[in-house]
Structure 1
Amino acid sequence: MAGCVVLPPDPKREPILRIETRMHTGTIRRVAVDAAGRYLVTGSDDKTARVWDAASGKLLQTLRPPMGDGDEGKVFAVAISPDDSMVAVAGWTKTAEAGYEIYLFDPTNARLLKRLVGLPGPILDLEFSPDGHYLAVAMAKGIRVYYREYWNLALSDDDYCDSSFSVDFDPTGRRLLSASRDGYLRLYELGLEVGRLPRSDSDGYPRPSSVEPPLKRKALGGYFPYVASFSPNGETIAVGFDDSTKIELLSAKDLSELYLSDPLENIGKAKLTNITWSLDGKSLYAGGAYIDKTTLHPIIVGLDAAAKNLFLRYQPLSYQIMDLKPLPEGHLAFGADGPTVGVLDSQGHRVWESHGSILDYRGNPARLRVSGDGTIIEFGFDTLDANGNNHRDTAYFDLTRLALQLGEAPPQARLNAPNTTRELQQNQGVAIGGKFDNPSLKPRIEADNMPMSLTKETVPTGLLLGKDSRLSYYDVPDRQRWETVVPGAVFAVNPSGDGRYAVVALGDGTLRWYETRHGKEVLALYVHPDKRWVAWTPEGFYYALPGAESLIGYHLNQGVDHEGKFVKANQLKERYYQPNLIARRLSPEGDRLIAEAVGRLGDVRQVLTRGLPPKVELVSLDAAETPGDYWLKVRVIDQGGGIGPVSLQLDDNEVIQARDPGIPGGSGDIVTARISPPSGQHTIVITARNPLDVASDPISVPLQVQPRSGQPRLHLLAVGIRDYYNDATLARGVRFGAKDAQAMARQFQAQGAKLYAPGKVEVLLDRQATRDGIVAAMARFKDAVTPDDVFVLYLAGHGFAFNGDDYHFVPADASFPDRDTLRRQSLGEALLRSFLSAIKASKTLVMLDSCASAAFFDGRGPGQKGAIERLATLSGRAILAAAAEDKMALEGEGGHGVFTYALLEGLGGVADRDGNGTIEVGELADYVQDRVQEITLRKWSERQVPLRELNGASFPVLPRP
């Protein structure tokens, strides 16, 4: 319709999970440097560009263009303006129907400044002119040149028969050189001058300026010229090839050949794809890869300007050199597959080198073995050491135990390797699987040159096919049931023995489980090379080892004209950290449990589309009149998702909630809190959440607190229950509860006086330990405990996990007509966390000797261990817990429950393993863990492993008697 403006569609609104290790996780396609050589920019298949300090390798910014599924958003090209004021980013960047786009970023704050739209194909190279006034673009079958002041087209040439991977300006900026896989080099005489290009014609649309047809010449060093580069004086052109080790030197006047060099002619199968000159023009550098037997090795060579004498050979810790750029003082920047980015000095020595933090699953796909139900997997992976030597390792992951271990899985795990056949290995090289005798499907597979894995499923009969970034399931003989896009090349695939799941090892460093009926992803695992790991579901529920939850997060598109935002998984911890739910994801009731959790908590893909978390800014931190107290003021800014509670953490301990949920707050609100840290050096971490519990990026404030006068005091609240007087069904399994609490109180009172001043001690036994009685006692401790004190909470009785991950301690007056009633009568996670956060002492130890009776545990989750771990993680307090089964508590040891018996032994002095006269939290945890396992294995031939979550606690608990 005339007069109507058709707006391009927004990019995908649904959050996209990404791995974030402060380094690329995909191949680094391009490298760019500014004129002064201060900054280095990289673009990657992981759909980000990154800005680095060229001297130190420090990551300065991550640029996040809009992205989508599959290839959408992959960055193939980057350029930084000579004055470092702008970074251009492009590639498979098509989020609008108007064509492909180039994104222009401010590198100082990662803000998206502008888009250039309407390009006809993926962008493969970008280059600013030496004066920064023009931007050249190489594309699939064509080039463009934009005038930066108005972003008008200065040149457009689509007369290409194949993709152009290289554009380069000469030192004057008036000539442009391109190289194309159609075999030709093209030299354009642009005649561009600043200010001479009209902003637009009368109709308001920009027009290309008139440029003479280029000088066009067939390259001779190979079939596919990849990079062509002007020498710094503009007189010579060097060309590198995608299918050859030759380097061709041409005259920049007429493209006549000067010299053809082959520095790797004796090395075998190799190619030197990338080429660049040193800034002084005295040297040439070329990069690529060669194959030694079956292994791909990267290589960088240095030659003199005539390309006749080889003076440098360097092999980074990578797989293939993708790009090279010169830096001042003869230094050289490189980007590589692997991924790897780094800088060499003029002698070829490494200045710095940064590697992707992903395990490499390439190689033998048969190293992926899977248990019958898919809950245990064994996987092989490769790593490179500091000397560039490749190491092949094996690890296994047990989902039900939430445990990762190096080495092969034990035989009782009964893991199955993929069903390989000689025929497929011969036909496909890297393919594995069952006998392949389908003639109609075979050509379809052989026509695809991407990385491929095959395996034959047993129930039902069929074929799983992984190639590039797709996973497919075929019925026999020739029916594709489903195909799904996966976030990386498929390096291995193997079904579970029951045929319910397909486990795949991917090029993004993850292992993922897909159900075989419809190809839906149900679970993913990322293992960092340092062995931290995190597992998650598409709905957002996750479990992570300490420090690992920051390794994943969600990219949120903000529209076509805005940079993407990134929300880390630990910003969603309050709602989505669910250990038990992850442990039971593949169980028969896993789908039901996930559906119930989504009903209570929501799917992260819907929660994050309802608005970003607030932003927090520090206003002031001022000393109060009372010594050691401070007034903290922060500004909370609404970013569309609303404002909820503001939380403060002291050295990772949850200490205060400065705004209650639901209190109205407008953008820019000032929140004030009075804090009382203990003496010493501390870090205060401030976050704000929106009403859906999505937290802001935290801000950290260092604080030095002077020592207070007086000796620290030791406080203990001990609760022990044997008599559940309202319900006899609860009496089983807690025979020692009251006795254990009394013994614990005696131990602390007897030994504590040697190290601490007397503090508040309360012991609640049986009928004293009602819900109201415990809550009232907790309230009395809130005012009694000071920041420099030590506080110990001991609970013995029944405990259980409600909804899989919320820990509840059952008071003496509870009854069990049904689970919901029991939950309401118990002291749940929220109440316990609220109490612990109100205790001013950062030196807090929680000891839980609670068991879950089979009388009221319905098997919906493994129960306490995951729930207590969640409590420890969210509260930031050190927790030791038994989480024992019935028979452990009933049998006991030495007149006590096994866990408390080991605690009393350790506190009695034997845990002082370093002999310094005090029992510290870590020492006590080590002793109890070893002792409980020894006792339970000896008495019942079953190893009981106590839970320990110390959150970095290292303070003395008691002196040695």
Structure 2
Amino acid sequence: MRIEAGNHTAPINAIDMSADGRFLLTAGKDKTARLWDAKTGDLLKIFRVPIAGIDGGQLYAAALSPDGKLAAVGGYDANLLQNNDGGFVYLFDTATAQIVKRLGPMSQTVNDIAFSPDGSRIAVGLHLDQGVRVWTAPFYGAPAVDQDYSDAVSGLAFAPDNHLFVVTQDGLIRHYDQDMNGVARGPSEDQAALAGIAASEKAIAITYRDAPPRIHVIDRNSLRGLYAVDTSGLARHSLEAIAWSADGEILYGGGSNFIGDDDPFVLYAWDQRGQGKRRAIGQSWAQYTNVTANPNGGVAWATSDPAFGLLDPQGMTEERVIADMREKLGEKFTVSEGGEAVRFSFDYGGKEPWLFDGAKLTFSPSPTPPNGFHPADVTSLPINWEDTDAPMSGDARIPIGDWDRSHSLAISPNKKTFILGMNYTIAKYDVSGGQFWRHPVPGTTWGVNLSSDGLVVVAAHADGTIRWYDALYGEELLAFYVHTPSKRWIAWTPQGYYAASPGAEELIGWHVNGKSWSDTPKFYPASRFRDQFYRPDIIARVVALRSVDAAVKEANNMAGRKDGPVVPIDALLPASVTLLDVGEAIEAKTQEISVNYLLTSPTGRAVTRVEARIDDRPVSTRGAAEVDESLALDTPQSLTLDVPPRDVLLSIIAYIGDQPSVAAEIPIRWLGEKTVEKKPKLFAVLAGISEYNNKELNLGFAAKDAEDFAGALKAQEGLFYDTVDIETVVNSDATKSAIEAALVKLRKKATADDMVIVFLAGHGVTDASLDYYYLSADAEMEEVMLPATAVSGDVIRKSLAKVPGKVVLFMDTCRSGAGIEGLVDMSRAANDFGQEAAGLVMFASSQGREVSYERADWQNGAFTEALLSIIDDAKYYGEDGRLSIPELEEAVTTKVAELTEGRQNAGMTKYGAIPRFFIAAVK
């Protein structure tokens, strides 16, 4: 399983840009390369290579063709790791994200890649003594080879005249002409290990690997030094990453250099072709790993955070999406007695801590240290462990890997053993240095702790995860990841069982290699396997039982489920849709367009339906099967549809039964006649039940919530909406049949240009199969009667999936009363409603099994109280006087938490294809 958070989750090793500056390519140790819109920062494509083990598939190098149509990536190839029969550079079509060619085989890892400025050649620098390979367009056949090397290539660069320059770790520089003939070869001025090279029309710059930082500008023909770049006063580490500006007048440099222990890493610039005074132009709390010129001015940079961006007046920055786990030591990384709960912060060290409870499945701010939490014991034994590659236990050497370095320690309560966290592994030792077990880790273990009985290990890793291990045998039990910008979280076992907050199911998924090494791997979000693997009841038990198998058995017994074999993931894979004959976008001058596509089914199961969506709402098509028909596989097909006269996103989804594929998406750029934007119409259904047939279920303010929210929406008539049509059903009128009929009517009323809002307040329950039901006024609580007397989540979702226009669902159905607190899993319900097939935005009043609160002084539930105050307050609206869905999400989650002092946490889910839109206008 892999994390997919919309950005890199491990150090970015390479960055490059297209010649026109439109596209930016990044590649990293998380085994992905990514194509970005350099102006907006939008993620355009993800390029996935085959992976194997911990290291196979890590990317160390990447280059973008000058026209931006090809991406070349390489590193530690999984094929080389697994089969030892050669590694490859993978060429991707940037429009389709498909592998179109492999360059190789090569017997070592790839350290650097570059396209020539004319796009006719790709140069590849290899590790150890394997030298350089250069392929010529169209990149078929054998490459030109120079293997007369005695050490690894550390950098290569093409000059504007397509001459190639290469530096190596043994301090040599090489110059090749356009035909790969050697022009010059010689040692660097310091005859020391070189880290990088930058070539412009006017000068060649080289930088060194060791301290102190120094950069030399050399003559391109003799390779002799011309002058040294000003690095005076810089003493620590080096400036491994250098680049010339597009015009060759400015030299940029960054790396692992910093001034003092508490100072950031700095990105520098030197004017006058590197002869000017050094000036700091950027800083980061992680080292700069790569820089490249922005053709439109300035420089693109990448760091090990991971983060990247452009440094210029209009520069964009993509911030980290993982927690910074560095220095998770002492009180900055504490755990509960049983180890199920952990307190940590997203930032370096321990600022603004949060607490994840793996037993209660809650995640919330924790400004005050809770009782019963403890830091790791690092003093009871004489262990030398802090940031060293030679740790000692007293006088005994602790055996670690050749490239490992220890960073964290936890001594067991019996003082006889300890856990050591390192760069590549986590391990358990006795006091004499004897090893019990060693487990590979996904990133440096910056923090480690033990439960009070010493049976559970809790570790903080550089990939932004916290992981739990069985202290006796070293087996991984559980992983936890939080998306730092949104605070959405997901926890999962190695087998794939998971629990997730609303909207978090897309944060992890299954990477599946193709049938051959040249096939493009597929990525399937966890949500595609929700029915089998969404098991919060298992996740809540796994740490306490220290066994996934035991947690499965106990959870099944409690839920009345039968134990049985887990269906392998390969047998559950959904269908796949590939768009044919498209570039980066479809240009439309008429509203009727045709799209060609290809269907595949990895499992061989029949694909029964294909659905087209515009901005993730359904549209009518011609040529696509409707339902229950086995569609042709591996054969080009076509569908025709009408698109609105504006820029939109087209999504095509294939279904095997009710299981949706990952959507194939393509932007549509409208080139036809523009139309005047009109105010939308609003159609709304609001249900609130305070008085049930079963009096024990009665509530205080659910009906009033629906009526008050209806009033707030009606006030938007003539303001944001042209007209507002609301059907409100409360108390005894809110029967199963009445609610379902009201939902059906929406399909007849709304058009593609309208807004639809549904609001449900009252009680909800989740049955043993984790299916959600909204309790109508006439509902019966006996589980066997729920399908006949309550409104099922499946009915709600399928009804709204067929409604044209934009759809927003508000659910406040976790009220307390009649002893049914905790009987609804709102995270599961929210993710069900927010799934791709539903195509709607869903706001939930609470998460997991939290209770939704109502109070007499509010005269409403907390969720409705928050909504009403936000809609009525201009401070929550944008500068244009409109309230967007993201603005509403931020406001309502904050407001609900404030009203309930953190006991209730609202959430929002939506599928990524749904564009940003607005819901109200300020009065």
Fold equivalence (TM over 0.5): yes
The answer for the alignment partner of 2:518 in structure 1 is 561
- After TM superposition, give the deviation of residue 267 of structure 1 in Å: 3.0
| Cα distance between partner residues in 1 of 2:347 and 2:486 | 13
The answer for the alignment partner of 1:420 in structure 2 is 378
Alpha-carbon distance change, 58 to 847 in structure 1, aligned in 2, over 3 angstroms: closer
Of the three residues 258, 264, 271, the one matched with 2:238 is 271
| Cα distance between partner residues in 2 of 1:606 and 1:98 | 28
SS of residue in 2 equivalent to 1:316: strand
| Cα distance between partner residues in 1 of 2:14 and 2:850 | 61
What CA deviation, in whole Å up to 9, does each residue of 1:675-711 have, x standing for no partner?
A: 9x9xx99999764433472433265889999999999
- After TM superposition, give the deviation of residue 110 of structure 1 in Å: 3.0
| Cα distance between partner residues in 2 of 1:954 and 1:39 | 29
The answer for the alignment partner of 1:513 in structure 2 is 468
- After TM superposition, give the deviation of residue 417 of structure 1 in Å: 0.9
SS of residue in 2 equivalent to 1:592: helix
Of the three residues 178, 182, 201, the one matched with 2:166 is 178
Residue 146 of structure 2 corresponds to residue 146 of structure 1 = no
The answer for the alignment partner of 1:163 in structure 2 is 152
Residue 584 of structure 2 corresponds to residue 640 of structure 1 = no
Aligned AA for 1:152?
A
| Cα distance between partner residues in 2 of 1:253 and 1:567 | 51
| Cα distance between partner residues in 1 of 2:407 and 2:57 | 23
| Cα distance between partner residues in 1 of 2:766 and 2:498 | 20
The answer for the alignment partner of 1:497 in structure 2 is 452
- After TM superposition, give the deviation of residue 379 of structure 1 in Å: 0.9
Question: Which structure 1 residue ranges, 5 or more long, are not aligned?
Answer: 1-15, 195-210, 384-389, 623-629, 725-730, 957-961
Alpha-carbon distance change, 546 to 685 in structure 1, aligned in 2, over 3 angstroms: farther
- After TM superposition, give the deviation of residue 830 of structure 1 in Å: 2.2
Instruction: Select between 700-709 and 304-313 the one with higher mean Cα deviation.
Output: 700-709
Alpha-carbon distance change, 609 to 870 in structure 1, aligned in 2, over 3 angstroms: closer
Alpha-carbon distance change, 41 to 708 in structure 1, aligned in 2, over 3 angstroms: closer
Residue 341 of structure 2 corresponds to residue 376 of structure 1 = yes
Residue 6 of structure 2 corresponds to residue 21 of structure 1 = yes
Of the three residues 43, 50, 60, the one matched with 1:66 is 50
Q: Is the 8 A contact 2:683 2:746 kept in 1?
A: no
The answer for the alignment partner of 2:321 in structure 1 is 357
Instruction: Select between 693-702 and 138-147 the one with higher mean Cα deviation.
Output: 693-702
| Cα distance between partner residues in 2 of 1:26 and 1:884 | 29
SS of residue in 1 equivalent to 2:257: strand
| Cα distance between partner residues in 2 of 1:902 and 1:327 | 52
Aligned AA for 1:103?
Y
Alpha-carbon distance change, 594 to 167 in structure 1, aligned in 2, over 3 angstroms: farther
Alpha-carbon distance change, 824 to 496 in structure 1, aligned in 2, over 3 angstroms: farther
Alpha-carbon distance change, 378 to 587 in structure 1, aligned in 2, over 3 angstroms: same
| Cα distance between partner residues in 2 of 1:947 and 1:282 | 53
| Cα distance between partner residues in 2 of 1:453 and 1:42 | 30
The answer for the alignment partner of 1:696 in structure 2 is 662
| Cα distance between partner residues in 1 of 2:162 and 2:380 | 58
- After TM superposition, give the deviation of residue 945 of structure 1 in Å: 4.9
SS of residue in 1 equivalent to 2:552: helix
Question: Which structure 2 residue ranges, 5 or more long, are not aligned?
Answer: 718-722, 876-882, 911-915
What CA deviation, in whole Å up to 9, does each residue of 1:89-145 have, x standing for no partner?
A: 211124143122222233444332222233222121223455534634232223033
The answer for the alignment partner of 2:212 in structure 1 is 244
Of the three residues 49, 60, 64, the one matched with 1:76 is 60
The answer for the alignment partner of 1:120 in structure 2 is 107
Q: Is the 8 A contact 1:187 1:215 kept in 2?
A: yes
Alpha-carbon distance change, 604 to 291 in structure 1, aligned in 2, over 3 angstroms: farther
Aligned AA for 1:77?
A
Aligned AA for 2:213?
T
Alpha-carbon distance change, 807 to 602 in structure 1, aligned in 2, over 3 angstroms: farther
Q: For the aligned residues, what is the CA RMSD? A: 6.0
The answer for the alignment partner of 2:793 in structure 1 is 829
| Cα distance between partner residues in 2 of 1:790 and 1:310 | 61
| Cα distance between partner residues in 2 of 1:911 and 1:324 | 44
Q: Is the 8 A contact 1:469 1:486 kept in 2?
A: yes
What CA deviation, in whole Å up to 9, does each residue of 1:558-581 have, x standing for no partner?
A: 231133333445666677666666
The answer for the alignment partner of 2:98 in structure 1 is 111
SS of residue in 2 equivalent to 1:290: coil
| Cα distance between partner residues in 2 of 1:821 and 1:701 | 47
Alpha-carbon distance change, 590 to 505 in structure 1, aligned in 2, over 3 angstroms: same
Alpha-carbon distance change, 173 to 604 in structure 1, aligned in 2, over 3 angstroms: farther
| Cα distance between partner residues in 2 of 1:422 and 1:222 | 47
| Cα distance between partner residues in 2 of 1:885 and 1:88 | 47
The answer for the alignment partner of 2:768 in structure 1 is 802
| Cα distance between partner residues in 2 of 1:791 and 1:145 | 59
What CA deviation, in whole Å up to 9, does each residue of 1:126-177 have, x standing for no partner?
A: 23455534634232223033342544242232541x3221234566656x54
Of the three residues 393, 404, 414, the one matched with 1:437 is 393
- After TM superposition, give the deviation of residue 368 of structure 1 in Å: 1.2
What CA deviation, in whole Å up to 9, does each residue of 1:54-103 have, x standing for no partner?
A: 67766554332222231211221223455655433211124143122222
| Cα distance between partner residues in 1 of 2:249 and 2:850 | 79
What CA deviation, in whole Å up to 9, does each residue of 1:817-859 have, x standing for no partner?
A: xx6676787654324434555677977877766779989x8x9
Q: Is the 8 A contact 1:51 1:61 kept in 2?
A: yes
Residue 576 of structure 2 corresponds to residue 592 of structure 1 = no
- After TM superposition, give the deviation of residue 491 of structure 1 in Å: 1.1
Aligned pairs for 1:149-228 within 5 A: 150-157=140-147, 159-160=149-150, 162-168=151-157, 177-181=165-169, 183-187=170-174, 193=179, 217-221=186-190, 223-228=192-197
Aligned residues: 868
The answer for the alignment partner of 1:287 in structure 2 is 254
| Cα distance between partner residues in 1 of 2:725 and 2:68 | 63
Aligned AA for 2:144?
A
Aligned pairs for 1:632-711 within 5 A: 637-641=598-602, 642-644=606-608, 662-667=628-633, 687-691=653-657, 693-697=659-663, 699=665
Whichever of the two has the greater Rg, that structure is 1
Q: Is the 8 A contact 2:167 2:174 kept in 1?
A: no
- After TM superposition, give the deviation of residue 418 of structure 1 in Å: 1.1
Aligned pairs for 1:387-402 within 5 A: 392-399=351-358, 402=361
Q: Is the 8 A contact 1:82 1:130 kept in 2?
A: yes
Aligned AA for 1:164?
V
Aligned AA for 1:240?
Y
What CA deviation, in whole Å up to 9, does each residue of 1:902-937 have, x standing for no partner?
A: 699979x99996599xxx999999999999999xx9
SS of residue in 2 equivalent to 1:591: helix
The answer for the alignment partner of 1:207 in structure 2 is none
Aligned pairs for 1:876-891 within 5 A: 876=840
SS of residue in 2 equivalent to 1:142: coil
Q: Is the 8 A contact 2:171 2:188 kept in 1?
A: yes
Aligned AA for 1:20?
A
- After TM superposition, give the deviation of residue 263 of structure 1 in Å: 2.5
| Cα distance between partner residues in 1 of 2:153 and 2:185 | 14
The answer for the alignment partner of 1:483 in structure 2 is 438
| Cα distance between partner residues in 1 of 2:485 and 2:423 | 27
Aligned AA for 2:266?
I
| Cα distance between partner residues in 2 of 1:715 and 1:305 | 67
Q: Is the 8 A contact 1:802 1:808 kept in 2?
A: no
The answer for the alignment partner of 1:5 in structure 2 is none
Q: Is the 8 A contact 1:805 1:863 kept in 2?
A: no
Aligned AA for 1:437?
S
Aligned AA for 1:639?
T
